[in-house]
Structure 1
Amino acid sequence: MPARNAAEYGSTQAWDCVRPCWQRHPDRPLVRAENLIAELDNPPGWLQDFTTDLATKYSVGRACTMITSLGRLLRDGQPNLPQSVLECSRRPGRSMGSLARALETFFTSRGLAMATDQAERLAAGRRQRRVLAAPDTLRPSVEAFSDFMIRSRERSRRAGTLPRTDATIEAALAIVRDLALFLAGERGKRDWALTDVHDLEAFLAGSPKARKRRLVVLGQFFRFARSQKIVLVDPARGLTARGPSGFTGATLTLDQQRMLFRRWTMDPAVHPHEALLGMLALLHGASSREIKMLQVVDLDFRARTARLGDRPHPVPLDPPSWAAAERCLAHREDQRTDNPHVMVTRQTKTGRGPASTAYVSHVLDACGFPPRMIRCTRLLELVNTMDPKLVAAAFGMDPEATMIYLADHIDPGRLPDLQSQWLQAPP
């Protein structure tokens, strides 16, 4: 064990020589915790285990800094109960701090405390920012619509139906905010009652690809506004999407698929997360959410299968896909993490949550194609070469969801040459 002070070396010069080594010594957090326990009159029983957990997940310097911050909390005279310490460790603002996140992960995994409401606080802040961005005269109705969606979600949870997610509510508020800015800035209207169908048509024309989604939200908002006497007539009632009902997205060509397959199976410089997400999307039609929620226990190493999302049966993985999964597991092992997910990032290796949606959406940036485009290519091929109902059953989808991928044309290679038959037919 390195010396703890210069007195044991007899000179300050000797201590200066050994100090850099002690700064990186793996026992330094444990010694810091021992000193803290000796200073406290009633040290909590979980402190030693928490220090060990920090030492295995963080660097020596970061672990010591967090133990020092924890010591200030334990000396303030407040109760040392896990829930109280967790609440006191939270920082104000959008991030509750690394110490609070580490305490939350440690306490919840051992059943010592309940998880914080940090996610709810962040969602409330995002909603508030969208509401405040609306013009002053139109803002009260936007705020009332936000409260209405929150109350509807609570009723849906109590009733056991499918509630709106935070992302859905935030997207709806963003559309209503954009409409309010458009009415005030482009149309010179600062009262919702003055909105007519021509205003909505002009607003929808600004983003034709988002017409369907915007029209759904505008219908919800103006039905709410009419029920609250904000408007007398619903201007969105007679509007229609007027768009094709089938799949209109972009897909990969066969040469592009081959190029991506070679990239993810032969290029060792490709990040393991990119290879896993790309191969499962290209060959098995896996979504980004299915892959980011995939855990180690979902992999059957003997049968080489994986349980993806809500699919009713395990998905057999071909050798290239299984090799990509093994690369990802090796990358996870190098991070020395207790996170149960296969895809572990620098932000999630100290916790137990999945990778963020923002991270997963940018994993394939290096290859130049988004995950949705690759997945839709596979689904489009399967639906047009197999029974759509079988595809829906295999993927855990509603039968109606696969119908949009049915192409409106027939592959000429699958039909007999009718023209030659007509020419050979007797007159």
Structure 2
Amino acid sequence: MEKYKRIFVIVLDSLGIGEMPDAARFGDHDVDTFGHICDIVGTLNIPNLKKLGLLNLHPTKEMEEERHPIAYYTRLKETSNGKDTMTGHWEMMGLKIEKPFLTFTDTGFPPELIHELEERCGKKVIGNKCASGTQILDELGEEEIKNGSMIVYTSADSVMQICGNEETFDLKNLYRCCEIARELTMKNEWKVGRVIARPYVGKKKGEFVRTSNRRDYALKPFSRTALNALKDGGFDVISVGKINDIFCGEGITKAYHSESSVHGMQQTVDVCKEDFHGLCFTNLVDFDTLWGHRRNPVGYAKEIEKFDVGLGNLLEVLKEDDLLIITADHGNDPTYTGTDHTREYTPFIAYSKSMKENGRLEDQDTFAVIGATIADNFGVTMPEGTIGTSLLSQLK
């Protein structure tokens, strides 16, 4: 018998809560996204996250813990070999990634790949290096516009990112080029986790701004996940934000594209007002893309406060038989060196108006407890080869 009719999983993209024991293996030392943000700004106006127990899970110097938290909370380790978006989300839904996705951080993409991309797209590639998205626009945006070129770059993630000015490149043409890039990078020697369309507007350095028309072309999950099990079982699986892109539509029954994290939370509130039966899976990406990668702890702090406002709106409309889970997919400490994600624990906060108890749960060894808990609630069997143990019985 189902405990909850609807489950909402909200991923605060990159809101890590302290380094994992194996962080040094990933080049990270003393990383703590939430903690270091709090060290910089002092206090955050987050009454809803506080009452759910975030400060009990991760105490700070200047903010008091909640005396009577209303949710269950714990830390999750990532068992997969990585610290990127796809690895984190796929693990949540039961997949363990043993082999990291290919990266081209140090060398750029191979000449053979770039040549074929230029031939197929009809544009000269410029860039082809590891760079910050905003920096490379300032460096090469004017050249792209003047010469009709195509900016291609990567990061420490397994990604190929392609920039295009919406006025001169044309959005449909940008998407076409990204589809070609996705096809080319399906080869084993070039296989990246995602190709990302990065449209922008503006005419000169200092004025370039990326738009919300980003589109991700991800690899399909290598096996079935909890999402497939839910969909096959006849349940709704509603995605908000880039969840649909991360899973290539696998296991999704309805998808909503978000223009920002604030918009994504409003969409989640709107979905909550609908009558559905199953899962609403939301990713709020601005924490990561706007503030984590750009190493802006103050902007990140303000984004957390904006989320807390949206969270308050969601808490008001949640029903007695709804379950809310708040988590993250990796860290991205805005006080750390470089611009890469950081290998951190992530929060697991679970709340329902029907809960009679609350408090700290034991740390968990995998993000996959999320998918296992969801499958357990709806009485569906996790696909063969997946990992994770349900926490449903502990949510009382």
TM-score (norm: length of structure 1)? 0.21
TM-score (norm: length of structure 2)? 0.22
Between Structure 1 and Structure 2, the one with more strand by share is 2
Structure of greater Rg: 1
Between Structure 1 and Structure 2, the one with more helix by share is 1
